[in-house]
Amino acid sequence: MALDKETLIARQMRIESHLARGFPGLFGAKGRPAPVVAVYWPHRNEYDALPLADRLRASGTVTALPVVDKPDAPLGFREWHPGITLKPGHGGIPYPASGGPEVTPGVLLIPLVGFDAQGFRLGYGGGFFDRTLAALKPPPTAIGIGYEESKLESIHPEAHDIPMDYVVTEAGIYRRDSAGPTREGTLVFLGAPPEGELSALSSPVCYAGELDPGYFGEKGS
């Protein structure tokens, strides 16, 4: 998807605002364990989550990047912040070099090439995130991030495909309503979080109260 620089920046700024206002539980807070949030290194015109990661770390959140240990295995995750050495990995995408602490994220920010009305995603075909979401226990909260025009009626999911819990685009936030990772789930558009002070009680589209605090994880040993 070709986007001019100004359009891309404007969309990414809106997405970052939706994430910060719609999911205040991504940020650290006194009285609970530090959240562990996995971001990703941006590829092509994907949403760049690294500026948001800076804000999260400033609040006390632990940020991590995925690591491809084996081509057909779930992803691993290592803590990452500026100063931790990166090396080019699968597809040339940087990852934290060995020696960085391994962590178990409670929330995964996941890039979307496309997504459908049931919350299933299109990626680049490697299946890494599907294997990872199936393997992590307890299941993390999966927040897919993409652009509005990449929404499809159906991606025709296969048995191994795992849907997103939420999808965030420049237009706002979608929540997948279902009783689990079934084919019957549906994305419901909840709109854009309102401007103003961050609060789980300020708007029905702020979801921190819906998530078990354990979903946000603890720093691994």
pLDDT computed for residue 88 by the predictor: 85
3-state secondary structure of 58: helix
In this prediction, residue 180 carries a pLDDT of 53
Enumerate long-range contacts of 134-139, CB under 8 Å, 24 or more apart: 134/74, 134/160, 134/162, 135/74, 136/74, 136/104, 136/105, 138/214, 138/215
* Higher pLDDT, residue 159 or 59: 59
The whole-number pLDDT of residue 200 equals: 42
Higher pLDDT, 196 or 71: 71
Number of alpha carbons in the 13 Å side-chain half-sphere of residue 47 = 31
Q: Which residues share a beta bridge with 110?
A: 144
Model confidence over 181-213: pLDDT tens digits? 556 789 999 999 987 655 442 233 333 333 333
Instruction: Specify the pLDDT at position 211.
Output: 37
* 49-58, 81-90, 142-151, 190-199: least confident range: 190-199
> Topology of 5-216 in CATH?
Rossmann fold (3.40.50)
Strand partners, 38: 64, 108
Q: Strand, coil or helix: what is 160?
A: coil
- Position 79 scores a pLDDT of 94
Q: Which is higher by pLDDT, 12 or 160? A: 12
> Can you tell me the mean pLDDT for 143-150?
96
pLDDT at 109 over 50: yes
Structure tokens, 141 = 């909260």
Q: Do the beta carbons of residue 64 and residue 105 sit within 8 Å?
A: yes
Checking if the pLDDT of 31 tops 80, the result is yes
In sign, the C-alpha dihedral spanning 79, 75, 115, 201 is: negative
- pLDDT, residue 54, reads 96
Check if the beta carbon of residue 167 is closer than 8 Å to that of residue 207: no
